[in-house]
Amino acid sequence: MDKRICLLLGGLCAVASVIHAADEGKKPVASAKPGVERCIYKDGEPQGRIFLPAREFNAAVRFAEEELRNHLEAITGKRMELAYRSILPDEPGILLGIRPESEWQGNESAQTFTIEQDPVKRRITITGNTGLAVLYGVYQYLSDLGVRWLAPGDIGTNIPRFADVHIRAGKRSYSPSFDYRCLSLSSTPENHFGGTDIQTAYYDYQLYLLRNRTQFEHNRMRYATRGAFAFNLVHGNGGHGIKARTGLDKADITKQPERFALVTESGVQKRRFDGGQVCFTNRENIQRAIESCVAFFREMERTKGSRCSDLDDLYIVEVSQSDCSGYCECENCAKVAGKGPGGKDRLAWHFWNLVAKALDEKMPGKLIGVISPYMDLTQPPDDVKIEPNIMVITPLVFSWEKAPENKESYPFPKSFAQCVSRIKGAGATVLQSYSYLNFPWSPTPLHILDAAQGFAKLGYRRYHLEAMQRSEYAWPIVWSLAQFTWDSTKDPREYLKEFCREYYGAPYDQDVLWILEDMTRRAYVMERMNYGSCLDTSSMFPDELIKKARDRLVGAVRQSQGRPQARLRRFRDAMEAQFRLAETYRAYCKALNNRTAEDIADFEKRASGLETFWQQNDLKSISTTARTPQVAAQNMLKTDFAHLKPSARKEIDGKGPGDERWMQELFAGSEPPRSLPNLFPLPEIWKFHIDYDNRGIEDGYFRVEHDDSKGWPAVSTWNFPSAQGYDVQIGGYFWYRVKFRAPLFPAGKKVFLRIGALDDSGDVYLNGIKVGSQPPGDWDKSFAMDVTKQIRPGAENVLAVHGYDSGGREGVWRPSALYTD
């Protein structure tokens, strides 16, 4: 037998053994809700059968009756018989059925279902517009009985025990608030599941998502689920798929270079595959993209009869840009882009509109999907209108940015809210939100729930969560989002409270809620957050919070019992790894600043302790296996403190103002002037300090008189610190200081200071006075400021840079200089 089918049947049978912790080992008891005599189960005995008419027999309905029978048996202790026929007029039982397509097509969602309970006939009827809708109806009915699938696997399932299952008179129809609800793990299962049986673990995860009525994407489907749950499949087609849609292959770059993007990188302009999009105005690229989109939908039509097509109305074909910069600069693309801001947006929308319009002419109503705002794209310029058959996917990359204007636009940063407003104003009617769970080395604050509610208020009907981690502190968020995207009439934070109450039990649910809410409160004072990092973990978990949280979790585990205790222990261990990561990160930054034997030893002890804790508690079995706190500790431990030394990037090492490449670095993002009078290059080597506790402003790091003789090691400003021996995850606030003697500039000339690049953003101080800033998003561009009034010609000057990085590379990493206009 196919192993996938074995897993399917094994998973179904296993449900029967799962019971609520409070009733573990007990016999079925009388219902707690007397007063209605009509029951589908009475004293633990079924009062009818489950009826499955032959014409309704498909994979989804077959799975629905198995789920229904197994769960009812787990509740009552007795299995209900199955009849493969229509129910007779006076026969009691549960009827599962699919409505004729002619009754609902064009008026209702394919996922709509109705539950009707008739005590007189002793009958429950679950009718869906499709087989998948019938399955969703079964899950709704079981949920009404008190069943909860709170986390993957048996430990996450709550099934109550009672002997009487009453039939409550009434009829109600259900439709999802979001038509598309995908909460998929990113990348491949190997990135998230440890141990030898990845197949079973991944099956449990996908079954958990199915039971909470969320869809799967084809390109996320692996192992057992591909065949077992095909009825819940939304066909993915490549994500960042513009190269695939245009048929570009790297090998063709010498044969048809004109189809590839002409891109200037590091001062060199050439046709590129890696690091480039496509030529957006090339006729063959446009035609191939059109043909590819048409072929995709024709294949969907051709295979309609041989596959489950319940979710066909959700299918789109993605023509989104590649996950990089590199927009074509050829003559035709430059003409379309035009001068001034918004050129890259204009160019991309020009291409997408041509493809969408041609597709609509050939196959009316079919959608292409594109991503905006993302990477270099922000919003369509005012002269761009969006074709109605373009679905715009709007990723919330920076989920939080601390700035006064963002408080007004909460739960979105103001820039994101403005982009969405412009996209809707340009004609977009179909939008899909795209949110992220943080990388595994950082928990996700609760504003992701508020953002989901924000999308609902904006009229979104499609929601996608890219879950970058699986962890014990992720399930409260994933479950809450699954419930909210199905029924958005309830605040998602109320779903969160329900999760904690059902999963951990009172009063210990309050301990978990307090931790999640307090770390979220602290996240709001951070500069910004995108995918999470060690510095985010450190910001959310200062020492005082860690101490209180440890005490509460230890007490909760000690005092609880049974299944809630096992769940709390898992949560405690997962959070303890994050607490230790925060402490290790702070110790690492301190060791990098001071370089003392004592500080280095303290850091190494903490990092090694984190590794040991992770292994001894086998956290890989309940957590994502890539980018974990353990991996973060291992990466930090690779730092060779004895041999840290400044080093420039190879491409500019040893160069200076006489070299064209050096000038391109200094003027990154703009054209270097042909002549530059009175150019004075600033020194390459500056002093550097990681401001891990964000005390730099208070302690006066920008002041001339500040003592930087200790705690300020030297680095090259022609390279990232993380390329000079520091771990890539240092991030956060940092400072640079350099002292230099300025030349005597000609009288009457304005003097400018230019910083070659600052990743991500920050402020610049000259002789204790703030002279300029670099905003987020321009991490790879140079910026200049007039320092005529602040410079001290012929004397010593002190330059300080206060920067912030939200993860990844960081710092001043290109040359800086003074010059006159």
The tens digit of pLDDT for each residue in 635-675 reads: 999 999 999 999 999 999 999 998 999 999 999 988 889 88
One domain for residues 170 and 212: no
Which pLDDT band holds residue 406 (cuts at 50, 70, 90)?
Answer: confident
What whole-number percentage of the chain has pLDDT above 70? Answer: 93
206 and 229 share a domain?
A: yes
Residue 771 lies in a domain: yes
Statement to judge: residues 654 and 789 lie in one domain: yes
Q: Is the pLDDT of residue 334 over 70?
A: yes
Query: Which of 140, 175, 210 is the last residue before a domain boundary?
Result: 175
**pLDDT band for position 773 (cuts 50, 70, 90):** very high
- Where does the pLDDT of residue 121 fall: very low under 50, low under 70, confident under 90, or very high at 90 and above? very high
Q: Quick check: 30 pLDDT over 70? A: no
- Is residue 162 assigned to a domain? yes
Question: Does 749 fall in a domain?
Answer: yes
pLDDT of residue 238: 62
Contact 750, 788 (CB under 8 A): yes
> Residue 719 falls within a domain, yes or no?
yes
Q: Is the pLDDT of residue 32 over 60?
A: no
Q: Among 293-297, 413-417, 773-777, which stretch is predicted with the lowest mean pLDDT? A: 773-777
pLDDT tens per residue, range 598-625: 999 999 999 999 999 999 999 999 999 9
Cβ of 323: how many Cβ atoms within 10 Å? 10
Residues 120 and 194 in one domain: no
Burial class (CB in 10 A: 0-12, 13-18, 19+), 476: buried
- pLDDT higher than 70, residue 25: no
Q: CATH number of the domain that 166 lies in?
A: 3.30.379.10
Q: In this structure, are residues 42 and 72 in contact, taking their beta carbons and an 8 Å threshold?
A: no
Give me the long-range contacts of 185-189 (CB less than 8 A, separation at least 24): 185/220, 185/467, 185/468, 185/470, 186/466, 186/467, 186/468, 187/626, 188/222, 189/222, 189/223
Number of domains in the chain: 3
> Strands 751-755 and 783-786, how do they pair?
antiparallel
How many of the other CB atoms lie within 10 Å of CB of 790?
18
Regarding whether 766 and 665 lie in a shared domain, the answer is yes
Residue 773 placed within a domain: yes
Q: Are residues 272 and 359 in the same domain?
A: yes
Task: Indicate the pLDDT class of residue 3, thresholds 50, 70 and 90.
Answer: very low
**Distance (Å) of CA 572 to CA 321, 441, 584:** 41, 16, 18
Q: What pLDDT score was predicted for residue 31?
A: 46
Name residue, tokens 């610049």. 764
166 and 214 belong to one structural domain: no
pLDDT of residue 7: 39
Q: Which of 467, 567, 445 has its CA nearest to residue 515? A: 445
Same domain, 653 and 724: yes
Q: Is the pLDDT of residue 199 over 90?
A: no
Tell me the pLDDT band of 806, cut-offs 50, 70 and 90: confident
Per-residue pLDDT band for 776 (boundaries 50, 70, 90) equals confident
**Are 235 and 312 in a shared domain?**
yes
Domain boundary among the residues 490, 514, 539 is at 490
pLDDT over 90 percentage in the chain? 77
Residue type at 79? R
pTM of the model: 0.92
433 neighbors 446 (Cβ within 8 angstroms): no
Query: Is pLDDT above 90 for 400?
Result: no
Contact 198, 223 (CB under 8 A): yes
Average confidence (pLDDT) over 739-763: 94
Whether 312 has a pLDDT exceeding 90, the answer reads no
Contact 540, 519 (CB under 8 A): yes
pLDDT at 237: 60
State residue 106 phi and psi, 5-degree precision: 90, -10
611 located within any domain? no
Sheet with strand 769-774: strands edge to edge: 714-716, 685-690, 732-741, 796-805, 761-766, 769-774
- Same domain, yes or no, for 267 and 375? yes
- Tell me the C-alpha distance between 514 and 527, whole Å: 23
Give the C-alpha separation, 305 to 302, whole Å: 8
Q: What CATH number corresponds to the domain at position 410? A: 3.20.20
Same domain flag for 15 and 116 = yes
Say if residue 294 is in the same domain as residue 372.
yes
**CATH number of the domain to which 789 belongs:** 2.60.120.260
Average pLDDT over residues 727-735: 89
Find the largest Cα–Cα distance for the chain. Answer: 104
In a domain, 28, yes or no: yes
Measured between alpha carbons, how far is 691 from 670 in angstroms, rounded to an integer?
31
Give residue 196's pLDDT.
Answer: 65
Phi, psi of 715 (to 5 degrees): -140, 160
Does residue 719 have a pLDDT over 80? yes
Domain boundary among 490, 509, 535: 490
Look up the domain containing 760 and give its range: 644-820
Task: Examine residue 379 and state whether it is found in any structural domain, yes or no.
Answer: yes
